[in-house]
Amino acid sequence: MSSPPIKRALISVSDKLGLVDFVRGLEAAGVEIYSTGGTRRHLEQSAIEVLDVAEYTGFPEMMDGRVKTLHPRIFAGILCRHDREDDMASLAEHDILSFELVIVNLYPFQATIAKPDVTKAEAIEKIDIGGPSLVRAAAKNAKFTSIVTNPEQYSSVLEEITETGCTSQETRDKLSAAAFAMTAEYDQAISGYFAEAETDGLFTANKSISMRLKNELRYGENPHQQAAIYSIVGSSGANVVNARQLNGKELSYNNLLDLDAALHIVRPFTQPACSVIKHNNPCGAAAGETLVEAARKAMAGDPLSAFGSILGFNQVVDEATAELLSEPGLFIEAIVAPDFSASAIGILTSKPKWRNNVRLMQVGNLEEQQGELSYRHINGGMLVQDADIIEDDYPSWEVVTEAKPDASLQDELKFAWQMVRHIKSNAIAVCRDQSLVGAGAGQMSRVDSVEIAIRKAAERTQGAVLSSDAFFPFPDSIHAAAEAGIAAIIQPGGSRGDESVIEACNEHGIPMIFTGRRHFKH
């Protein structure tokens, strides 16, 4: 059977954006409009002729609108199969009209529970009952019924109806798939809300993540891998997924990983900060009095590795910083920042050789980061933990050596401890003048990481501080640090070898702090 002509539309929406223009178009195409309560009144105020669902069913709305569309005359009209004589005979026998178009969106449950201090009773009142039933019925009968659930669908659906008097099967199938995705997302939000409400701890008995395809990517980590980026439904705030791209080529899978890492590093700083990422590890990072100072110091951390890097900033990129980044000999793949001044955009997109290619990613204000869960896929399941974003408890830090770090090293040690949590384990950071000057990352042996970090820092180890994401099991790394001129060490402590490590620090007159907290990043 060919697509049935659209004679009638049933409309019941919470979000009325664009509805009047859409319905006027349907009316002009000869479609009869049936609607309920608030939606009907909204359309009538715009002089659109609307037939009342309650009059049609002979059953009034009741219980403050909780019951209005749940009626056999409605669902039979939506679910009837136009190519079945018995279905159509049943409609005729019971004087039931068919609805070939259903336009429904749901009570704003997600928006309601996102409000601060929302009560359980308020949340319950925003659980839609009739809406999801109408949506599922129409989506199930996609061979004959078109289901519209989003104002973004109005224009294309109206265009088809205006031109042909109906919708194509391809369109109905797409609308149906979108409708089922919408109700699944809605149900997930409800189940998640009640699961969290009834759970004392962090982890609920069941957890679902709803994601929407944002873009397919050119390829994954390697050219032979297919890849895409999805946004997590309900995610908000400053992040790479929701960022606005102001310039440059299409983002790659690895670009996105590195941009995310760059943003994570600079986010906690209150003073201007810059991070330089290469292969998902910082090869440079710094804080300064100005953004351009932070950028200069960060780029100097490891100039060789910084070629072709990803940069992150925690403040608006200004003209002076853009001029620095455009100096000859530098090549930058992408920059993520809260925003870019107009002059900075002009410089970065016109001055350097890589002007047409650099990706400029605007994420908006870096508001205080809230507690969140971190997910990591493994075969057969998912590892879930709370993200390692908690602020460190500086007063609980303990100086365990005879020598005490002088006041000039206090901020340096805090900076080094902030840096090491962003380097892959085994992680070592050598820092000087609020700048990362040497990093040892991802080695199987901690002493290897120490040697790499010291080699990267070269002569800058003199008077620098060294941080370690986990304890030193043996004193060998302490001896290497002392030989390089390290002025102070910070680490979690907690090894059975702590006594020998402390003894080695005392031997060299190096102060050492135990933080009592580890920062592994596998």
- The per-residue pLDDT for range 282-313, each reduced to its tens digit, is 999 999 999 999 999 999 999 999 999 999 99
Let me know if residue 203 belongs to a domain. Answer: no
CB-based contacts of 423: which residues, under 8 Å, 6+ apart?
Answer: 281, 282, 429, 439, 440, 441, 469, 521
CATH value at residue 293: 3.40.140.20
Q: Is the pLDDT of residue 128 over 90?
A: no
Let me know if residue 377 belongs to a domain. Answer: no
Tell me: do 177 and 44 sit in the same domain: yes
Which two three-digit tokens encode residue 455? Answer: 């080699």
Angle, nearest 10°, between helix axes 19-28 and 37-44?
Answer: 70
CA distance 229 to 239: 13
CA distance 506 to 515: 18
Q: How confident is the model at residue 65 (pLDDT cuts 50, 70, 90)?
A: low
CA distance 179 to 185: 10
Could you list the residue range(s) of the whole structural domain that residue 498 is in? 394-514
Q: Is the pLDDT of residue 410 over 80?
A: yes
Let me know if residue 370 belongs to a domain. Answer: no
Which amino acid, one-letter code, is at 64?
A: D
Q: How confident is the model at residue 465 (pLDDT cuts 50, 70, 90)?
A: very high
Q: Identify whether the C-beta of residue 188 lies closer than 8 Å to the C-beta of residue 196.
A: no
Q: What is the pLDDT of residues 179-218, one digit of tens each?
A: 999 999 898 888 888 888 777 777 888 788 888 899 999 9
Tell me: do 411 and 355 sit in the same domain: no
CATH value at residue 36: 3.40.50.1380
Which two three-digit tokens encode residue 356? Answer: 């047409």
Tell me: do 246 and 346 sit in the same domain: yes
Q: Identify whether the C-beta of residue 101 lies closer than 8 Å to the C-beta of residue 9.
A: yes
Q: Among candidates 155, 157, 151, which has minimal Cα distance to 174?
A: 157
Distances from the Cα of 76 to the Cα of 33, 66, 92, 97, angstroms: 17, 20, 11, 8
Residue 64 pLDDT: 67
Tell me: do 135 and 270 sit in the same domain: no
Share above pLDDT 70 across residues of the chain, in percent, rounded to a whole number: 97
Which amino acid, one-letter code, is at 221?
A: E
Residue 441 pLDDT: 92
Q: How confident is the model at residue 373 (pLDDT cuts 50, 70, 90)?
A: confident
Q: How confident is the model at residue 123 (pLDDT cuts 50, 70, 90)?
A: confident
CA distance 171 to 160: 9
Q: Radius of gyration over alpha carbons of the chain, in Å?
A: 30
Strand order across the beta sheet in which 281-287 lies: 244-247, 359-362, 332-337, 309-313, 273-278, 281-287
Q: Identify whether the C-beta of residue 480 lies closer than 8 Å to the C-beta of residue 503.
A: no
Q: What is the pLDDT of residues 213-268, one digit of tens each?
A: 999 999 999 999 999 999 988 787 899 999 999 999 999 999 999 999 999 999 99
Tell me: do 181 and 91 sit in the same domain: yes
Let me know if residue 376 belongs to a domain. Answer: no
CA distance 286 to 299: 9
Tell me: do 309 and 401 sit in the same domain: no
CA distance 427 to 443: 8
Which two three-digit tokens encode residue 105? Answer: 């969106």
Let me know if residue 34 belongs to a domain. Answer: yes
Tell me: do 308 and 424 sit in the same domain: no
Q: How confident is the model at residue 505 (pLDDT cuts 50, 70, 90)?
A: very high
Let me know if residue 494 belongs to a domain. Answer: yes
Q: What is the pLDDT of residues 2-43, one digit of tens each?
A: 788 999 999 999 999 999 999 999 999 999 999 988 899 999
Let me know if residue 209 belongs to a domain. Answer: no
Q: Identify whether the C-beta of residue 208 lies closer than 8 Å to the C-beta of residue 232.
A: no
Q: Identify whether the C-beta of residue 35 lies closer than 8 Å to the C-beta of residue 10.
A: yes
Residue 201 pLDDT: 76
Q: H or E stretch including 457?
A: helix 446-457
pTM: predicted TM-score of the whole model, two decimal places: 0.83
| Residues facing 489 on adjacent strands | 466, 512
Tell me: do 494 and 439 sit in the same domain: yes
Q: How confident is the model at residue 68 (pLDDT cuts 50, 70, 90)?
A: low
Let me know if residue 521 belongs to a domain. Answer: no
Which two three-digit tokens encode residue 244? Answer: 């606005």
Tell me: do 63 and 185 sit in the same domain: yes
Which two three-digit tokens encode residue 332? Answer: 């930058």
Length of the chain: 522
CA distance 260 to 17: 34
Q: Identify whether the C-beta of residue 175 lies closer than 8 Å to the C-beta of residue 195.
A: no
The set of catalytic residues is: 140, 279
CB-based contacts of 119: which residues, under 8 Å, 6+ apart?
Answer: none
Q: Identify whether the C-beta of residue 96 lies closer than 8 Å to the C-beta of residue 76.
A: yes
Residue 72 pLDDT: 87
Residue 412 pLDDT: 95
Segment 425-452 shows an average pLDDT of 94
- How high is the mean pLDDT of the chain? 91
Tell me which residue has tokens 């679910």. Answer: 79
Domain boundary among 316, 342, 362: 362
Residue 368 pLDDT: 66
Q: How crowded is the C-beta side of 415, counted as CA atoms within 13 Å?
A: 29
Domain boundary among 197, 212, 231: 197
Tell me: do 174 and 262 sit in the same domain: no
When divided into structural domains, the chain yields a total of 3
Q: Among candidates 247, 25, 240, 55, which has minimal Cα distance to 148?
A: 25
CA distance 457 to 305: 13
CA distance 266 to 272: 8
Distances from the Cα of 266 to the Cα of 83, 221, 385, 418, angstroms: 62, 24, 22, 10
Tell me: do 297 and 398 sit in the same domain: no
Tell me: do 398 and 341 sit in the same domain: no
Domain boundary among 166, 197, 228: 197
